[in-house]
Amino acid sequence: MTNDLEIRHCRVLVAVSEHGSVSAAARELGLAQSTISETLLSLERVIGAPIMLRRPGKEAVLTVAAQTLLPHARALIAASASALAAVSSENRGIIRLGAVESVSSFILPRALTEFRSRWPSVEVQINIGLCDKLRERVRHAELDAALTLDGSQNALAYQDGCSRSLSSAQLRLVVARRPPRGNQNVRRTDLVGRTFLLPDPDGAFPAL
């Protein structure tokens, strides 16, 4: 058992001081009178002095020791409220995350599931867009961060101290098991003039 001053001690002491009696303090805090009395006895053991003077025919008043403790009790209550507010604000924030469609469809779902298991009170808002537009929105503080794709030739253009390369991107060409010209392999010249469907026409895949 510790002899530390607790927030419950402070709340009861302040309530008794402001409302004049144990019964009134109990009504204010929504507690039983027995709970208020037990808390006051616990506080007396902590400080080693009586809390209230009980005089026949008159209302009980706080002792000098209790009066001395009052401003410190109020300060501890305020510090506790401030600490809880800071933690609540930090854990219930909103992250505005931008991503290209391919990343949001195939990579983010698993990552978001793990993120929410660790920080369930943080809301992640996903914004889908093209690479250049997403970077522009981050620069204008419209997004907190963005996941984009950069070609090897222009990747260094965005290394401004606020960006980071998470992994290298590879462009894969997927064709039917049987080549279009008998048994010949597909060559670069065979692809010239062909039409390709890309998820982000203004992004990095065309450059790759």
Note whether 204 and 131 are within 8 A (CB).
yes
- Pick out the chain residues at pLDDT < 50: 1, 152-156
Instruction: State pLDDT tens for residues 116-143.
Output: 888 777 888 898 888 888 888 888 888 8
Q: If one looks up domain 94-191 in CATH, what number appears?
A: 3.40.190
What pLDDT does residue 104 have? 83
Structural domain boundaries in the chain? 7-90, 94-191
Note whether 97 and 147 are within 8 A (CB).
yes
**What does each C-alpha distance from 131 to 83, 102, 175 come to in angstroms?**
40, 11, 27
Please work out, in degrees rounded to the nearest 5, the angle formed at the alpha carbon of residue 190 by the alpha carbons of 187 and 194: 130
Q: If one looks up domain 7-90 in CATH, what number appears?
A: 1.10.10.10
What pLDDT does residue 175 have? 63
What pLDDT does residue 153 have? 47
Q: How many residues does the chain have?
A: 208
Instruction: Give residue for tokens 């670069």.
Output: 188
Instruction: State pLDDT tens for residues 89-115.
Output: 555 678 889 988 878 888 888 888 888
